[in-house]
Structures are given as structure tokens and as C-alpha cells.
Amino acid sequence: METAPFFDDIVQGPVGGAAHWLKTADGVRIRVGHWNRADAKGTVVIFPGRTEYVEKYGPTAQGLHDRGYATLAIDWRGQGIADRLTPNRAIGHVSRFADYQNDVSVVMTHLAALGLPKPYFMIGHSMGGCIGLRSLMHGIDIQAAMFSAPMWGILMSAHLRPFAWGLSSLSRTLGFDQALAPGQSEQSYVLRTDFAANMLTTDQPMFDVMRAQLNAHPDLGLGGPSLRWLNTSLREMQRLSLRPTPHVPCLTFLGGQEAIVDPRRIRNRMANWPAGTLRVIDSGLHEMLMDTPAVRTLLLDETVAYFDAHR
């Protein structure tokens, strides 16, 4: 296995982390990072959200390590330092949402090659929650899952939804689908947004950490999505909404102040998940694993207790 860059200077994770390059079945190079633990009770596979990268989950990996678990996190295709899929690396792009399952497949093989201990668990945040739900429907080897603000719908006003569908579909027909979606920026969200206006976290120190990471390693940064990403994500979320819930134990966290993904879609899915539990964190925004120490501790304590109960 080929060693990949691993940015220890920003990671804030357990000692001994490492990263590798993986090549998917369709020829895309992605990056994974892992933190092992000799006596681990199992391994938590983190499916990050759009724009995220391995090192951002160092504090989560530390919390899981302290509670007895090994961790692996992914740079999905088109983000982090995995292969970018358009000439303009600032634009988040994917040809088909199903392509992310190629990333999942090679990651699951890599888990075994590394000898990371079973059982395997999943944490899926935002876009990672969309990818993760599809993976569970495909029968991925996951004992139980935790979703944080899963992207099972995108929050947008009723009058914008037809426009988003129409323009993004037209872009595929007319060949301008690699263009930045309207209203988006090529600059990373945390670098162009003041803390007071951000929709991710209520914790100023964590927001500053996210900024510092991108300033230290600009190649990790990513701006808004392409019209193609928007269209294929809308199609995927619609398809998922029509499929039955997988028979996997699931704990889902939703912030009471969520303003990015659609809370209604999350509530509807969890209301019909027989082996599922929905926890609403009243003060929570979109990234509760990157929030105040109290919120992060609550999520990790409840997640690990849930995983322990389903080992």
C-alpha cells in the first residue's frame, strides 16, 4: 500500500496516525487516514461531508480512541487531496453520485488489509450520510451506524427548488455542468464566512481551527459544488427517499438550528427506521462533531454507548 501525505501539524488526533493512497475500480485516487489502537473494540469508519478531509476528524478520532475504538476517515473523490475531477480544483464535482460507492468499496477492502479490528461501525456526516445510507442499502459490512445531520435532503425554499432542478438538469444537456452552482463561491466556506454568520458550529475555537487547517494546507480547501454535483445529488436523494430503510441499527443526530440539510427528510426517514433512534440537539447547528466540548462529548458518549450495545 502506498503512503500518502498525513498532516500531523493540524490533525489533533491520536498518536500514530497514517494515511494511504487507494485507487478505485474506475481509476480515481482517493486518500484514507487511520488511527489504530491495539486493544480496540472495533473500528469506526468516518464518511465525511462535502468539502471535508481526513485531518478535520482528528479530534473525533481522539475521542473514539479514548473510548476504545480505532478510526478510519476518507478523502472522497473531488475533495481533500484526493483526485479533483475538474480542471478548476476549487469546484466540488462528481459525475454520478453512485461513483462514491467505488470509494466505499476500496475503503472496505483497505480496512481488512490494514488489519483494523472488527466489528466495523460508521459515522456519516452530511454528504457522507447520503453516501452511507446508500452503502447500507447495498449491504456494506457495518454493525451499526451514526448519522450526523445526514444529507437526505437539501434545505432550500420552495420557489428555488424547481430552479435548482431545472438549471442543473439543463447544464447536463448543454454541457456546462462543471460550472459553479449559482450563489456559490470558489473560496472555502470557513474562509469567506465570519464566525457570527456561520451555519456550522457555535464554537469559536473550533471554527478557528478549521480556518487554520485550510490556511496551513490550502490544497485541502474546496469551494462550492458544480451544477453536475447539485443535479446528481438531488437525483440520489430523491431515489433514496423511495427506498426502504436498511436493517441496520442507526442513531441519528439532528441540530435544532440546522440550516443546511432538510430536517423534514431526516425526521421522515427516522420515523420509519425500526432499529433507529433520532436525537435532536436543540442548540446544534450543522457540524455538531465540531461544536463546543460539551456537545462533542455528548455526541461521542452516546455514539460509543450505542456502538457498544450493538457489538
The per-residue pLDDT for range 34-79, each reduced to its tens digit, is: 999 999 999 999 999 999 999 999 999 999 999 999 999 999 999 9
With beta carbons less than 8 A apart as the criterion, state whether 45 and 182 touch.
no
Q: How confident is the model at residue 175 (pLDDT cuts 50, 70, 90)?
A: very high
What pLDDT shows up at residue 256?
98
Q: Would you call 279 exposed, middle or buried from its count of C-beta atoms within 10 A (0-12, 13-18, 19+)?
A: middle
Q: How confident is the model at residue 222 (pLDDT cuts 50, 70, 90)?
A: very high
Q: How confident is the model at residue 145 (pLDDT cuts 50, 70, 90)?
A: very high
Q: What number is the average pLDDT over the span 232-238?
A: 97
Report domain extents, the chain.
2-309
Residue 162 scores a pLDDT above 90: no
With beta carbons less than 8 A apart as the criterion, state whether 25 and 103 touch.
no
What's the mean pLDDT when you consider all of the chain? 97
Cell numbers 421522515: residue: 268
CA distances (Å), origin 91, targets 66, 87, 108, 180, 238: 36, 9, 27, 6, 23
What pLDDT shows up at residue 161?
87
Topology (CATH) of 2-309: Rossmann fold (3.40.50)
Is the full-model pTM beyond 0.95? yes
What pLDDT shows up at residue 60?
98
With beta carbons less than 8 A apart as the criterion, state whether 262 and 152 touch.
yes
What pLDDT shows up at residue 65?
98
What pLDDT shows up at residue 167?
87
With beta carbons less than 8 A apart as the criterion, state whether 296 and 288 touch.
yes
The per-residue pLDDT for range 83-124, each reduced to its tens digit, is: 999 999 999 999 999 999 999 999 999 999 999 999 999 999
With beta carbons less than 8 A apart as the criterion, state whether 203 and 287 touch.
no
